Structure formats: C-alpha cells, structure tokens
C-alpha cells in the first residue's frame, strides 16, 4: 500500500475532491495547511513597512491506496490540480506498512 499526499492550491479543493471520488477513491483526509515553495511568498506593505509573507495557504489531501492504483490516481490529481503556474503544489508517495481499522480490528487492504 502507498500513501499519496498532494498539496495543492485552495481553489482546487472541490475539483480535486470530485475527481478523486469519480476515480472511486473510498476515502481521503483533507487539511488546510500553510507553506512555501519556489514562490517564497510575496511582499505587502503594512503601515508603510514592507512585510514578507512567505507562508502560502494550501490544501493537503492524503489517500492510502493499493500499489496498482498509484499511477492512475497521480494522473487524476495532476489533471485536476494543474494550472500551469508556479504554486500548483506537489505530490508525495510513501509506503504504508500496515493499516488497522479501529472499529473492527481489520488489517491490511480490507481496512482501507
């Protein structure tokens, strides 16, 4: 199993969520996060003083899927989240050793 973590623009929350449900993703965790990448934020002026705002609001999606589904879901995420501009986000893929459903005690793929 793999965890796909996608960090995307806030305005891509609904389009990406709909695309993942259309791709038969059974569940996901969505978080509001802040961070910075290549764009390094922007400058604003507050009471005449220049202030560097380097934490940009983003949305983080986390999905745990079978290995065979990863390539397809990465394509789905890229298509739904891409604008072609700096700040579109990143996708991280990492292995998951075990999953256990708390309510039933099921483990492995059945728990996802």
pLDDT at residue 65 above 80?
yes
List pLDDT tens digits, range 26-56: 899 999 998 877 766 667 777 888 776 777 8
Interior angle at CA 55, CA 49 and CA 61, nearest 5: 160
- Report, as an integer, the average pLDDT of 73-92: 95
Q: How far apart are CA 78 and CA 72, in angstroms?
A: 10
Structural domain boundaries, residue 101? 2-111
Calculate the average pLDDT of the chain. Answer: 91
Terminal-residue alpha carbon distance, the chain: 10
pTM of the model: 0.84
Number of domains in the chain: 1
How many C-beta atoms lie closer than 10 Å to residue 65's C-beta?
21
Q: How far apart are CA 74 and CA 81, in angstroms?
A: 10
Which residues are CB-contacts of 16 (< 8 A; sequence separation ≥ 6)? 6, 8, 59, 61, 77, 80, 81
Question: How is residue 67 written in tokens?
Answer: 């290995």
Between 112 and 21, residue with greater pLDDT: 21
Q: What is the CATH number of the domain that holds 38?
A: 3.30.70.120
Report residue 10's pLDDT band, with 50, 70 and 90 as the boundaries: very high
């Amino acid at each position: 199993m793999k965890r796909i973590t996608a960090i995307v623009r806030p305005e891509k929350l609904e389009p990406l969520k709909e695309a993942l449900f259309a791709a038969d993703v059974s569940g996901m965790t969505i978080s509001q996060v802040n961070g910075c990448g290549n764009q390094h934020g922007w400058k604003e002026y507050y009471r005449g003083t220049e202030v560097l705002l380097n934490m940009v609001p983003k949305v983080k999606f986390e999905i745990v899927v079978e290995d065979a589904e990863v390539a397809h879901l990465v394509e789905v995420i890229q298509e739904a989240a891409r604008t072609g501009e700096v700040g579109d986000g990143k996708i991280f893929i990492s292995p998951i050793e075990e999953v256990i459903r708390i309510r039933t005690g099921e483990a492995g793929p059945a728990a996802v």
